């Protein structure tokens, strides 16, 4: 008895919808992408009850004639590709011809559309995939699609929906992606009859980000430095020290398509390296453009992922772009704010301090080290209370044996002594490593250490790097090594444990990193324990030196793990706290 049967079109669409349409946000994504492909200049989205009760997307794009309005609801109907060759170079966001029939098969669906020159438009009503009404309609040129009662005929699916708030957040995120990817299109979102945002079209990505995310974030973004490579990386990234606990503000576009890419995600992390705290994610609005033949966009039903032909090349280009941008930011502020006449007086740009306030900082604050009288290791209040001139810092004292309190024209600056010392040590060791290697001290008793085979293999591969780091390790038989010398700052450590520590903490990081990277990683992970302990009471000249050294660092505003070294609390913020200002 034969058992194989063809699925009905409706059922086939519902099955396809299972992949393409996971939740209301997927509907929004597909409809908005269609509007973008239809050359819309303005896209309005309205949702009710997290998109479950209603999603309506209205555009002013090219519209469709009656035939197309009916055909677009068939499976595999698309105007965007014709041949397999087109698929290789596809420049539109859509190409699968699956979204509209899928959505129409799992909702109560209404399409109205009109071409610009047409006398009349078309209205099509569909329920659960069955066309119920076709008539003249469609007022303004463009297309409007209404999706009501999503999953009404798939109760199992409906059960998987999250709360209305969660679904709304997903929709908002989806629209953020589209809006950032297409600043030249006006977007609006209305949620339960309230306007969430209304974004005017703009040529400048920066303006779009500001309209969406606020000027405080924009003030802390850097424009990606261009490079002459085949693969173009552009957009904006957060300054060192700007990060989030999730990927929610990690926007990545490949050839204009918002995607999630482990390759690029890893590259971002590597690019930021020590400017990022563990478990934190960088803030990026990154656009990667490359020859369409170099990426396969047809690997994910929701087109959320892509496959690169040369992932290593993409990774390299992104890492280089991030490093170049962070580096040039550091150079530019050093040049800009370093006063040649002031000799050794260092400067800091306080926008880099992680600000506790919303007030915008002014750039350029040289440090002033007026030595307050010192007695008994403690800071006396400064006698001469001259007002702090613009561009100057004055050390006020130490809080809780840990935080250096400073005053500048803007208000209060707190420096975490421990984090500051870590940053200074880190950069010093890295410099030495890059130059001629970290000096090494011979151990009185060389240690012979036997390692697990996998660890032994790792050590063998990285011997040169370890030696540059001042770890005198040599092979001494099968899986056995002799440790003869250590850098002075590790002299207190127990050599066997230390080597195992180094292996454990670096093994995972080292798969693809360069020797220099590995060295950096190792310094970051070891200096921590050797930096000034939080409650070491520093004498005043030591504090001054600490602050000077910190401000001389390449990245003074965060420790090697990306935690902030300084925080600015503005006078405005204090005034608010004391109720002087409302």
Q: Which entry of ligand ADP, Mg ion, none binds 59, CB below 5 to 8 A by partner kind?
A: ligand ADP
- The H or E element spanning position 486 is strand 480-486
| Binding site partner of 62, from Mg ion, ligand ADP, none, Cβ cut-off 5-8 A by kind | ligand ADP
Choose the contact partner of 35 out of Mg ion, ligand ADP, none; CB within 5 to 8 A by kind: ligand ADP
If binding is defined by CB under 6 A, does position 14 make contact with ligand ADP? Answer: no
Beta bridge partners of 564: 558
The stretch among 77-85, 247-255, 324-332, 532-540 that binds ligand ADP (CB under 6 A) is 77-85
Per-residue burial over 551-571, b = 16 or more CB atoms within 10 Å of its CB, e = otherwise: bebbbbbbbbbbbbbbbbbbb
Residue with CB nearest ligand ADP? Answer: 94
Which residue's CB is nearer to ligand ADP, number 79 or number 382?
Answer: 79
Question: Nearest approach, Cβ of 252 to ligand ADP (angstroms)?
Answer: 22
Residue from the set 24, 63, 94, 235 that interacts with Mg ion by CB under 5 A:
94
99-118: contacts with ligand ADP (CB under 6 A): 99-100
- Convert residues 136-175 into a mask of x (bound to ligand ADP by CB under 6 A) and - (unbound): -------x--------------------------------
Three-class SS state of 239: coil
Half-sphere exposure of 191 (CA within 13 A, CB side): 17
Query: How many other C-beta atoms can be found within 10 angstroms of the C-beta atom of residue 81?
Result: 18
284: contact with ligand ADP by CB under 6 A: no
Q: Which does 80 bind (CB under 5 to 8 A by kind): ligand ADP, Mg ion, none?
A: ligand ADP
Residue 558 lies near ligand ADP (rule: CB under 6 A): no
Phi/psi for 471 (5° steps) reads -95, 105
Binding flag, residue 99, Mg ion (CB under 5 A): yes
Distance CA 426, CA 444 (A): 27
95 touches ligand ADP (CB under 6 A) = yes
Nearer to ligand ADP, 100 or 473 (CB): 100
DSSP character string of 378-422: EEPPPSS-PPPPTT--EEEEEETTTEEEEEETTEEEEEEHHHHHH
Beta strands 284-289 and 250-254: pairing type?
A: parallel
Instruction: Choose, by CB under 6 A, the member of 16, 17, 29, 30 that binds ligand ADP.
Output: 30
Which residue has tokens 């099968």? 478
The site partner of 259 among ligand ADP, Mg ion, none (C-beta below 5 to 8 Å per kind) is none
Q: Is 60 in the site for ligand ADP (CB under 6 A)?
A: no
The enclosing H or E element of 258 equals strand 257-258
Q: Is 351 in the site for ligand ADP (CB under 6 A)?
A: no
Nearer to ligand ADP, 93 or 199 (CB): 93
Question: CA-to-CA distance for 356 and 68, rounded, in angstroms?
Answer: 55
Q: How far is CA 61 from CA 144, 145, 174, in A?
A: 10, 13, 20
Distance CA 303, CA 97 (A): 12
Q: Does the footprint of ligand ADP cover residue 34 (CB under 6 A)? A: yes
Residue in the block written with tokens 């199992």: 156
Work out which of 21, 72, 199, 268 binds ligand ADP, going by CB under 6 A: 72
The helix/strand/coil state of 299 is: coil
Number of Cβ atoms within 10 Å of the Cβ of 364: 17
d(C-alpha 63, C-alpha 547), whole Å? 63
The piece of 5-13, 61-69, 350-358, 446-454 that touches ligand ADP (CB under 6 A) is 61-69
Partner touching 372 among ligand ADP, Mg ion, none, CB below 5 to 8 Å by kind: none
Q: Which does 487 bind (CB under 5 to 8 A by kind): Mg ion, ligand ADP, none?
A: none
Q: With binding defined as CB under 6 A, does residue 61 bind ligand ADP?
A: yes
Geometric angle at alpha carbon 542, from 534 and 326, rounded to 5°:
75
Q: Measured from the CB of residue 361, what is the shortest distance to Mg ion in angstroms?
A: 45
Q: Which stretch binds ligand ADP (CB under 6 A): 97-105, 245-253, 277-285, 488-496?
A: 97-105
566-570 and 354-355 strand pairing: parallel
Contact set with Mg ion (CB under 5 A) = 34, 94, 99
Point out which residues bind ligand ADP (CB under 6 A): 30, 34-35, 38, 59, 61-64, 72, 77-80, 94-100, 143
């Amino acid at each position: 008895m034969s058992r194989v049967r063809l699925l009905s079109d409706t059922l086939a669409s519902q099955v396809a919808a299972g992949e393409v349409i996971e939740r209301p946000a997927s509907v929004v994504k597909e409809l908005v992408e269609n509007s973008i492909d239809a050359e819309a200049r303005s896209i309005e989205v309205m949702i009710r009850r997290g998109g479950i009760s209603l999603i309506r997307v209205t555009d002013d794009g090219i519209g469709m004639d009656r035939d197309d309005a009916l055909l677009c609801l068939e499976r595999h109907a698309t105007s965007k590709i014709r041949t397999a060759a087109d698929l290789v170079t596809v420049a539109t966001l859509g190409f699968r011809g699956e979204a509209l029939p899928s959505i129409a098969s799992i909702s109560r669906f209404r399409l109205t559309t009109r071409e610009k020159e047409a006398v009349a438009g078309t209205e099509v009503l569909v329920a659960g995939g069955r066309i119920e009404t076709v008539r003249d309609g469609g007022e303004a040129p463009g297309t409007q699609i209404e999706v009501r009662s999503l999953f009404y005929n798939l109760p199992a699916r409906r059960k998987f929906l999250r709360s209305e708030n969660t679904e709304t957040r997903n929709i908002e995120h989806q629209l953020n992606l589209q809006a950032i990817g297409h600043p030249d299109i006006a977007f609006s979102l209305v949620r339960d009859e309230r306007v969430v945002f209304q974004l005017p079209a703009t040529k400048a990505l920066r303006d779009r980000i500001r309209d969406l995310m606020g000027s405080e974030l924009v003030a802390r973004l850097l424009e990606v430095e261009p490079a002459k490579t085949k693969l173009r990386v552009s957009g904006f990234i957060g300054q060192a020290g700007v990060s989030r606990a999730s990927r929610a503000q990690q926007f990545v576009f490949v050839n204009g398509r918002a995607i999630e890419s482990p390759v690029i995600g890893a590259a971002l992390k590597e690019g930021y390296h020590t400017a990022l705290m563990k478990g934190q994610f960088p803030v990026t609005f990154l656009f990667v453009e490359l020859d369409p033949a170099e990426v396969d966009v047809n690997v994910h039903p929701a087109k959320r992922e892509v496959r690169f032909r040369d992932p290593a090349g993409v990774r390299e280009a992104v890492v280089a772009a991030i490093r170049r941008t962070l580096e040039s930011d550091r150079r530019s502020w050093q040049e800009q704010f370093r006063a040649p006449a002031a000799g050794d007086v260092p400067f800091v740009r306080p926008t880099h301090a992680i600000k506790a306030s919303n007030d915008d900082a002014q750039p350029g604050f040289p440090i002033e080290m007026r030595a307050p009288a010192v007695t008994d290791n403690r800071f006396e209040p400064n006698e001469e209370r001259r007002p702090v001139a613009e561009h100057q810092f004055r050390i006020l004292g130490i809080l809780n044996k840990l935080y250096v309190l400073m005053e500048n024209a803007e208000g209060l600056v707190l420096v975490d002594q421990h984090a500051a010392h870590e940053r200074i040590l880190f950069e010093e060791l890295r410099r030495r490593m890059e130059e001629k290697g970290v000096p090494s001290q011979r151990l009185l008793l060389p240690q012979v250490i036997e390692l697990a085979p996998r660890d032994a293999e790792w050590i063998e591969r990285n011997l040169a790097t370890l030696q540059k780091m001042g770890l005198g390790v040599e092979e001494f038989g099968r899986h056995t090594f002799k440790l003869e010398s250590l850098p002075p700052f590790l002299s207190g450590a127990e050599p066997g444990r230390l080597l195992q520590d180094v292996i454990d903490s670096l093994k995972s990081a080292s798969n693809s990193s360069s020797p220099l990277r590995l060295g950096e990683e190792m310094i970051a992970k070891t200096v921590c324990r050797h930096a000034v302990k939080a409650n070491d009471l520093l004498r005043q000249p030591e504090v001054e030196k600490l602050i000077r050294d910190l401000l001389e660092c390449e990245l003074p505003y965060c420790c090697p793990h990306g935690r902030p070294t300084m925080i600015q609390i503005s006078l405005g913020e204090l005034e608010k706290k004391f109720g002087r200002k409302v």
